[in-house]
Amino acid sequence: MLKASIDIGSNTTLLLIAEFDGQSLVERESCLRVTALGKDLDVNKQFCEESINATYSALSEYLELIQKYEIPVHEVIVTATEASRVASNASSFYQKVKSELGFAVKIISSEGEAFYTAMGVGHNFLDNVSEVVMMDIGGASTELIRVGVSPFKYKDSVSLPMGSVRATQWRLSGNFNENVSYVFKSCQKILNYKTSKLVCVAGTMTALGAMIKGLSHFEAEKINGQEVSYPEFKKFVQKIEDDTVDKIVENYPFLGKRAQSIVGGAWVACQLCEILGVTSIEISTRGLRHGTLMAANGIDEKFIVGEV
150 and 261 share one domain: yes
- Whether 117 is covered by a domain: the verdict is no
272 and 200 share one domain: yes
> CATH code at 7?
3.30.420.40
pLDDT of 84 reads 92
- Whether 17 is covered by a domain: the verdict is yes
302 and 168 share one domain: no
Domain that holds residue 194: 123-283
pLDDT of 258 reads 87
Asked whether the predicted pLDDT for residue 15 surpasses 80, the reply is yes
Nearest Cα neighbor of 307 from 108, 111, 57 is 108
pLDDT of 124 reads 58
Asked whether the predicted pLDDT for residue 126 surpasses 60, the reply is no
66 and 133 share one domain: no
Peptide bond into 151 cis (omega under 30): yes
Dihedral sign for Cα atoms in the order 13, 144, 265, 52 = positive
- At residue 217, what are phi and psi to the nearest 5 degrees? -145, 160
Asked whether the predicted pLDDT for residue 107 surpasses 90, the reply is yes
- Confidence tier at 233 by pLDDT (50, 70, 90): very high
3-state secondary structure of 277: coil
133 and 252 share one domain: yes
* pLDDT tens digit sequence for 26-58: 899 999 898 988 888 878 889 999 999 999 999
Rounded (5°) CA angle 21-206-65: 50
3-state secondary structure of 282: strand
Q: What is the mean pLDDT of the chain?
A: 89
Percent of the chain with pLDDT over 90: 52
Burial 122-155 (b: 16+ CB within 10 A, else e): beebeeeeeebbbbbbbbbbbbbbbbebeeeebe
200 and 73 share one domain: no
Asked whether the predicted pLDDT for residue 127 surpasses 70, the reply is no
pTM value? 0.80
Asked whether the predicted pLDDT for residue 104 surpasses 70, the reply is yes
80 and 142 share one domain: no
3-state secondary structure of 214: coil
* pLDDT tens digit sequence for 265-304: 999 999 999 999 999 999 988 889 999 998 877 898 998 9
